[in-house]
Amino acid sequence: MRLRDPSAAAPAAPRPTTWVVLPGLALAPSDYARLAALLAEDDVVPADDVRVLDAWRVPTTGSVDDVRRELGVDGGRIGLVGHAAGGLTAIEWTLRHPGEVAELVLLDPMTPFGGPSPLSPDNQLDRFARGAVPEGAPPAVGRVARRLGHHRGAGAFDDTMPDDEVRARYGDVTRWPGLWGQVSQSWAHERTVGELWAQSPDRLAGLDRAPLLLVGMQALAGTSFLRGQRELARRTGAQVWALPRRAHLFPLVAPELVVQAVRGQRPDGGHRPRFADQEGLPRRIGG
């Protein structure tokens, strides 16, 4: 595959007017409301139509065509934004329907180039985790898990999801096994997309612009994660921005950084990453 030169001038292709946002696991459309609004209001990005998938209805770990139908995509050229597991689905979408995706924006994505995970479906750890969800657990457990998970992923106690939505989505413990199933299935999804990539790596060449890859670097990421991000950048020729002091949920709490990158600007505080190659071990991006 001939990689794009990130330093080359962007082609003068028209920007897509329809943008699609694919969420991370267990996140809701309301979590991306600020990002969607900023894309829709931006003068540089002519987003007349911004659609956010409700992954609680149609999971990103399932069929890409089911996702496309849920979003009402009819084959027109779109801008595709994928966060975490949604980023992996965005890559698959672009590979399977290369004529449909004009721009690809990946935010702390899962990639098909990471190492193996102990959370593969139906292995011993997966079965243990499924069985560890207690029947009849009080709804407050789910609500607290959401708030604490948001704090850890966002780096701040500023979860804007209303209490009634938190109760509806996270307070029903009967939903937990399904959510865990998506988590474990996402690792199998990595292998599926990796196999698809091996068959058709040139399909990303149809993008109007090089992919964008934004990585939040508040905490040290694991070796497998950084190795996967490095491989993703290398194989796609992505323009990469490292975001110091930003945790995994930066698209929720600092969506303006995403829009700045989509405009072609440097996100506030962002810088080009450097990876350590010694013995294949990464250090903190940019560190």
Q: Is the pLDDT of residue 64 over 90?
A: yes
Q: Is the pLDDT of residue 198 over 70?
A: yes
Q: Is the pLDDT of residue 251 over 80?
A: yes
Length, in residues, of the chain: 287
* 166 plus 216 within the same structural domain: no
* 29 plus 157 within the same structural domain: no
* 168 plus 267 within the same structural domain: no
In a domain, 237, yes or no: yes
Domain containing residue 190: CATH number = 3.40.50.1820
* 112 plus 128 within the same structural domain: no
Q: Which residue has the higher pLDDT, 78 or 5?
A: 78
Q: What pLDDT shows up at residue 46?
A: 81
Going by pLDDT thresholds of 50, 70 and 90, the confidence category of residue 249 is: confident
CA-based diameter of the chain, in Å? 58
Portion of the chain with pLDDT greater than 90, in percent = 45
CB 39 within 8 A of CB 19: yes
Distance CA 161, CA 158 (A): 9
* 199 plus 162 within the same structural domain: no
Q: What pLDDT shows up at residue 158?
A: 67
The mean pLDDT value of the chain amounts to: 79
In a domain, 62, yes or no: yes
Q: Is the pLDDT of residue 129 over 90?
A: no
* 260 plus 191 within the same structural domain: yes
CB 226 within 8 A of CB 115: no
* 159 plus 222 within the same structural domain: no
* 114 plus 163 within the same structural domain: no
Kindly state the DSSP code that residue 182 receives in the 8-state scheme.
Answer: H
- Residue type (1 letter), 111: T
* 115 plus 214 within the same structural domain: yes
Going by pLDDT thresholds of 50, 70 and 90, the confidence category of residue 125 is: very low
How many CB atoms are closer than 10 A to CB 192? 14
Q: What pLDDT shows up at residue 222?
A: 57
* 110 plus 197 within the same structural domain: yes
Please state which of the ranges 42-51, 170-179, 232-241, 257-266 shows the lowest mean pLDDT.
Answer: 170-179
Of the residues 142, 157, 176, which one is the last residue of a structural domain?
A: 176
Q: What is the mean pLDDT of residues 146-165?
A: 64
Q: What is the mean pLDDT of residues 185-214?
A: 89
Q: At 255, list the tokens.
A: 């969506």
Q: What pLDDT shows up at residue 268?
A: 95
Distance CA 56, CA 43 (A): 31
In a domain, 245, yes or no: yes
In a domain, 145, yes or no: yes
Kindly state the DSSP code that residue 206 receives in the 8-state scheme.
Answer: G
Q: What pLDDT shows up at residue 217?
A: 79
Nearest residue to 36 via CA among 247, 259, 207: 259
In a domain, 11, yes or no: no
In a domain, 6, yes or no: no
Portion of the chain with pLDDT greater than 70, in percent = 70
Alpha helices, DSSP H only, in 83-170? 85-96, 124-131, 139-154, 163-170
Paired strand residues for 80? 20, 104
State how many domains the chain has: 2
Q: At 204, list the tokens.
A: 């990303």
* 41 plus 91 within the same structural domain: yes
**182 φ/ψ angles, rounded to the nearest 5 degrees:** -65, -40
Q: Is the pLDDT of residue 211 over 60?
A: yes
Most confident residue range from 60-74, 117-131, 136-150: 60-74
Q: What is the pTM of this model?
A: 0.81
Q: What is the mean pLDDT of residues 220-238?
A: 79
Domain extent for 151: 124-176
In a domain, 7, yes or no: no
Q: Is the pLDDT of residue 50 over 90?
A: yes
Q: Is the pLDDT of residue 265 over 50?
A: yes
- The owner of tokens 């890409």 is 64
* 195 plus 94 within the same structural domain: yes
DSSP string, 251-276: HHH-HHHHHHHHHTSPPTT-B-----
In a domain, 3, yes or no: no
